[in-house]
Amino acid sequence: MRGTFTTTCRRAVGIAADLLWPPRCGGCDLPGTMLCDRCRAELPLIERADACPRCGAPDGAHGCAECGRSELAFAQGRCAGVFEWPLDRMVRLHKDAGELRLTDPLARLAVAAAGEWTDWADAVVAVPSSPGAIARRGFDHGAHLAAVFARMADITAVEALRARPRRDQRGLGRERRAANARSSIVAVPGVTVPERLVVIDDVFTTGSTLDAAARALTGAGAREVRVLAVARACGGRL
Ligand SMILES: [Zn+2]
Ligand SMILES: [Zn+2]
């Protein structure tokens, strides 16, 4: 009953939003759709067979320059596409302009990238935004993405992580930066963490945030954590 009510409300809000702010393509602003056929065809998707199975970097299947010998708290990583047009524009509009109607196409890409992981995982966990970022944006884009992903993949979304205010990274060396990222994400006290988890984020940049999330979850009892991102900003090093 509650589910029906929620779905009805969501539809009503969606219809009202479409009337007030007609949908426009996240890639090229074409009216009438959130992702036009031309931009869909241009999406810079990562071919899984070519990607690093450990961190999801494109072209890393036979030796990865990005994760190298780094110790990672997550077992595997996948990214749907490269952070280039039109995917980068979609991600920015979703996060920075509050265009939450783009959550569906972005989550759909994540579901496709996750593939069989959605059967393997007990639950999906969002990378938490800091309280300051949520206050600034007025919403938690990561939690939104995880919730839509969970609905599409028919798995549970668990709010297992919490962000703490992060120290300014400027002027910090690589080790201190990693330590800073680690201390900025913690497991929610007292949360029961399932054994097999997928952590989802919109952008995988250096991987330190997703690594910190995986570390917090394994520390709280998860047996294996895999990480999933919609877009991969290339050139970062773990
Ligand atoms: Zn378009
Ligand atoms: Zn790699």
Domain boundaries, the chain: 1-42, 45-232
Question: Residue 101: which residues within 8 A CB-CB, separation 6 or more?
Answer: 14, 17, 23, 34
Note the helical H segments in 43-140: 87-96, 103-114, 117-120, 131-137
Measured distance CA(46)–CA(203) in Å, rounded: 14
Ligand nearest to the CA of 55: 2
The pLDDT value given to residue 128: 94
The pLDDT value given to residue 182: 76
Measured distance CA(147)–CA(105) in Å, rounded: 13
The pLDDT value given to residue 165: 77
Q: Backbone phi, then psi, for 139, in 5-degree steps? A: -160, 165
* Distance in Å, CA 31 to ligand 1 centroid: 9
Which architecture does CATH list for 45-232?
3-Layer(aba) Sandwich (3.40)
* Distance in Å, CA 156 to ligand 1 centroid: 32
* Distance in Å, CA 42 to ligand 2 centroid: 24
CB 57 within 8 A of CB 83: no
Average pLDDT score, the chain: 90
Ligand nearest to the CA of 77: 2
* Distance in Å, CA 219 to ligand 1 centroid: 43
* Distance in Å, CA 233 to ligand 2 centroid: 13
Q: Using omega within 30 degrees of 0 as the cis cutoff, is the peptide bond preceding 86 cis?
A: yes
* Distance in Å, CA 54 to ligand 2 centroid: 5
Ligand nearest to the CA of 30: 1
Ligand nearest to the CA of 27: 1
Which residues in the chain belong to E strands, given as ranges?
A: 76-82, 123-126, 156-157, 161-163, 185-187, 196-204, 224-232
* Distance in Å, CA 28 to ligand 1 centroid: 4
Neighbours of ion ligand 1 (CB under 5 A): 25, 27-28, 30, 36, 39
pTM for this prediction: 0.88
Ligand nearest to the CA of 33: 1
The pLDDT value given to residue 4: 62
The pLDDT value given to residue 21: 79
Specify which residues 157 forms β-bridges with.
Answer: 124
* Distance in Å, CA 30 to ligand 1 centroid: 6
Looking at the chain, how many residues does it have?
A: 238
Regions in the chain scoring below 70 on pLDDT:
1-11, 13-14, 167-174, 177, 235-238
Measured distance CA(147)–CA(203) in Å, rounded: 16
The pLDDT value given to residue 3: 55
* Distance in Å, CA 24 to ligand 1 centroid: 8
Residue 167 DSSP SS3:
coil
CB 171 within 8 A of CB 199: no
Question: Residue 35: which residues within 8 A CB-CB, separation 6 or more?
Answer: 25, 26, 27, 86, 90, 102, 105
* Distance in Å, CA 69 to ligand 2 centroid: 9
Ligand nearest to the CA of 58: 2
Specify which residues 185 forms β-bridges with.
Answer: 163
- The one-letter amino acid code at 197 reads L
CB 198 within 8 A of CB 121: yes
